[in-house]
Amino acid sequence: MAADSLKNIRFVLCETAHPGNIGAAARALKTMGLGRLHLVAPRHFPDPQAEWLASGATDLLRRARVHASLDDALAGSALTVACTARPREIAAPMVSAREAAARIIEVARSQSTALVFGNETFGLTAVEVGKCQLLATIPANPQYSSLNVAAAVQLFAYELRLAALGAGPPVGKARARASHEELERFYEHLERAMVQHGFLNPQHPKKLMPRLRRLFNRAQLEREEVNILRGIIKALVSPKARRSRKI
């Protein structure tokens, strides 16, 4: 049962600068029974140093998928978690790595999930964080909370395995959560409608869309709920077309 959940979890490394960290991350995943590694625009990959530090996990490293964008790497994920050491002014709710692991395992029983890690130097950008529904942090020493990315991957992988092994049987029918692509299309639809009706000025957007993303991320929308919201937007944007269909 634990293995089934772990198969639905992908680790996404964004713009990794040092190939050794990719190899060490692959090794960290394999030790915990995880096998899905996705790379977004890595600076050096494939690379001999990555294979050297992967040690006995070179099979996982060779299966790693490389993407040009984070959206591609998150495609199909029903829960996306940004792993970060620092809180953000406007972002999804932040929880500990242990709590995040429990939430991920619950969703991973039936749908794909993803954890996102940033570049070694500057971490995750605000845009990358904004594409995730939850923020997770490792409760490290507040005076020195910066972890090597491979070490962070190892800790999250351990917490996920612990959560998977301790998870009880599923209660009731699993929720059909909206996928990353469905949510992104909803946000694009909402933004276009607000611009069209003058509620959002694209020249001075302020922080409206990040705040709305945070609002809907807290709701953990299901696929059917996203379809309802998009239907409402469509009806409000084109009320005349809707009335003419009824006549």
pLDDT in tens, the chain (247 residues): 567 899 999 999 999 999 999 999 999 999 999 999 999 999 999 999 999 999 999 999 999 999 999 999 999 999 999 999 877 777 677 899 999 999 999 999 999 999 999 999 999 998 999 999 999 999 999 888 888 999 999 999 999 999 999 987 776 678 899 999 999 999 999 999 999 999 999 999 989 999 999 999 989 999 999 999 999 999 998 876 555 555 4
β-partners of residue 222 are: 177
The residue extents of the domains of the chain are: 2-166, 180-246
Strand spans (E) along 24-132: 36-40, 65-67, 77-83, 94-96, 112-117
CATH 1.10.8.590, domain 180-246, yes or no: yes
Q: In residues, how long is the chain?
A: 247
May I ask the CATH architecture of the domain 2-166? Answer: 3-Layer(aba) Sandwich (3.40)
Task: Identify whether the C-beta of residue 79 lies closer than 8 Å to the C-beta of residue 182.
Answer: no
Task: Please give the DSSP secondary-structure letter assigned to residue 174.
Answer: P
The per-residue pLDDT for 85 is: 84
Sign for the CA dihedral angle at 210, 212, 215, 218 comes to negative
Whole-number Cα distances in Å, 38 to 42, 101, 129: 10, 18, 17
The per-residue pLDDT for 247 is: 43
pTM of the model: 0.91
The per-residue pLDDT for 175 is: 83
